[in-house]
């Protein structure tokens, strides 16, 4: 993999990730690492010139953010207040997409005329400076594609970008947890149609992760076992909620799924975070994940629009002395409960945090097995 870091006109960092050295789903270095500091040399397929030294010529002012972290004294949870985000880009026309490569007379957030995968600091971050960092990950230069349309090679490159950024952000002293995720679909609230995800580097451990860590610690104190391992073992034994299983990964609908169609994807060998994944798991991930995404698009039938979803990696907190006990996993779910109907978080869910699921997890798993690729 080739990695090139540049600066945008307002000083934000942008990193190009190119697939020049990606082979069999892993980098030319060690299983969890990235060959850092390699710059230049790639040729722009659109312009024929060096695509990594194109300057950002936009007249941008330095990014001014007003992010503030406040703690709810009753719940013990943190809230990010970011009023500057009110002015962020909202559903621009395709020919003005800020995530497409730059063209003559139409500069974008990506100065180059083409790219493989690119990561850059968000211009309208929820977290910034001492309150963390927010980055945008563009999976492809093709505006009309989706993650499910990617080749396995490109999906492997995205995994390497997630891994590299997780490792780099973990080195920042203010960061306590790194969350790589994708929102897909207007129903989720996506305001830019270009296929992309985000990375949040939080200055605190999020409530979901804290809850998982508490449950895991209590389980270990009570039984001596690892909760993540035992959840996976239960799903393998009962089998009815397993969606797919390979030598390196297992995907299942959890026993107490919150969402109508929700899948958790675990590596067969437990690790705390993305940088700890071994070579075999990295090599097999693209095929497994692309299959899951393509099944999601087939849940509701061929005449339905693409399924909206949220996909995110749960990684161990960075400063937790018990972080090796955490089980890395990806959570994928949709807010669509049936054709033309969404699952809204109303009184019980939004007011009290108690989910009511309209689709039995066993039925959801059965449907996800039915729509497997031929």
Residue 196 bears catalytic tag: yes
Q: Which has more pLDDT, 21 or 198?
A: 198
> Nearest to residue 357, comparing CAs of 231, 220, 262?
262
Task: Give the whole-angstrom CA distance, residue 202 versus residue 317.
Answer: 10
CATH of domain 222-370: 3.30.428.10
The pLDDT of residue 118 is: 98
Residue 22 has pLDDT above 50, yes or no: no
The pLDDT of residue 82 is: 83
The pLDDT of residue 143 is: 95
Residue 249 has pLDDT above 90, yes or no: yes
pLDDT tens by residue, 42-53: 444 443 334 688
Average pLDDT, the chain: 89
Contacts for 302 with CB less than 8 Å, ≥ 6 apart? none
pLDDT tens by residue, 56-83: 989 888 877 778 899 999 999 999 988 7
The pLDDT of residue 65 is: 74
pLDDT tens by residue, 148-189: 999 999 999 999 999 999 999 999 999 999 999 999 999 998
Task: Give the whole-angstrom CA distance, residue 367 versus residue 363.
Answer: 6
- Marked catalytic residue, from 91, 143, 194, 196: 196
The pLDDT of residue 363 is: 98
Residue 38 has pLDDT above 50, yes or no: no
| Domain segments of the chain as ranges | 2-202, 222-370
Residue 214 has pLDDT above 70, yes or no: yes
Q: E-strand spans in the chain?
A: 2-7, 13-18, 68-72, 77-81, 117-121, 133-138, 177-184, 196-202, 242-245, 249-252, 261-267, 309-314, 329-334, 336-338, 341-342
In which band, very low, low, confident or very high, does the pLDDT at 34 lie, cut at 50, 70 and 90?
A: very low
The pLDDT of residue 35 is: 36
pLDDT tens by residue, 351-374: 999 999 999 999 999 999 999 997
Residue 91 has pLDDT above 50, yes or no: yes
The pLDDT of residue 89 is: 66
Domains 2-202 and 222-370 share a fold: yes
When computed from its CA atoms, the radius of gyration of the chain, rounded to whole angstroms, is 21
- Choosing among 3.40.50.1400, 3.30.428.10, 3.30.70.360, 3.30.465.10, the CATH entry for 2-202 is 3.30.428.10
DSSP sequence for 115-135? -SEEEEE-SS-SS-GGG-EEE
Task: Give the whole-angstrom CA distance, residue 371 versus residue 374.
Answer: 9
* This prediction's pTM: 0.90
pLDDT tens by residue, 95-134: 889 999 999 999 999 999 999 999 999 998 989 888 999 9
Task: Give the whole-angstrom CA distance, residue 95 versus residue 127.
Answer: 29
Task: Give the whole-angstrom CA distance, residue 3 versus residue 38.
Answer: 6
The pLDDT of residue 124 is: 87
């Amino acid at each position: 993999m080739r990695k090139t870091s540049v600066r945008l006109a307002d000083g934000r960092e942008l990193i190009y990730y190119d697939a020049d050295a990606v082979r069999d789903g892993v980098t030319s270095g060690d299983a969890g690492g990235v060959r850092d500091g390699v710059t230049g040399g790639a040729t722009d397929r659109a312009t024929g010139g060096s695509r990594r030294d194109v300057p950002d010529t936009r007249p941008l002012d330095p990014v001014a953010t007003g992010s503030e972290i406040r703690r709810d004294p009753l719940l013990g949870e943190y809230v990010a207040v970011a009023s500057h985000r009110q002015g962020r880009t909202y559903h621009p026309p395709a020919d003005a997409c800020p995530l497409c490569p730059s063209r003559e007379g139409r500069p974008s957030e990506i100065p180059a005329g083409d790219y493989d995968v690119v990561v850059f600091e968000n211009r309208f971050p929820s977290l910034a400076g001492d309150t963390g960092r927010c980055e945008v990950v563009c999976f492809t230069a093709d505006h009309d594609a989706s993650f499910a349309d990617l080749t396995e090679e490109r999906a492997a490159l995205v995994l390497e970008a997630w891994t590299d950024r997780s490792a780099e952000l973990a080195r920042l002293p203010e960061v306590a947890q790194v969350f790589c995720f994708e929102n897909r679909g207007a129903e989720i609230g996506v305001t830019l149609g270009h296929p992309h995800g985000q990375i949040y580097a939080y200055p605190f451990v999020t409530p979901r992760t804290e809850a998982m860590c508490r449950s895991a610690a209590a389980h270990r104190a009570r039984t001596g076992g690892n909760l993540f391992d035992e959840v996976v073992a239960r799903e393998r034994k009962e089998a009815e909620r397993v969606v797919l299983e390979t030598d390196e990964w297992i995907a299942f609908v959890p026993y107490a799924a919150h969402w109508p169609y929700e899948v958790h994807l675990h590596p067969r060998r437990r690790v705390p975070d993305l940088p700890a994944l071994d070579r075999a798991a990295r090599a097999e991930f693209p095929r497994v994940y692309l299959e899951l995404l393509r099944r999601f698009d087939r849940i509701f039938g061929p005449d339905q629009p693409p399924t909206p979803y949220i996909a995110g990696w749960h990684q161990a907190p960075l400063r937790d002395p018990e972080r090796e006990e955490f089980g890395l996993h990806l959570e994928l779910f949709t807010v669509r409960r049936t054709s033309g109907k969404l699952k809204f978080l109303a009184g019980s869910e939004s007011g009290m945090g108690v989910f009511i699921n309209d689709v039995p997890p066993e039925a959801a798993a059965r449907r996800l097995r039915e729509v497997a690729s031929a």
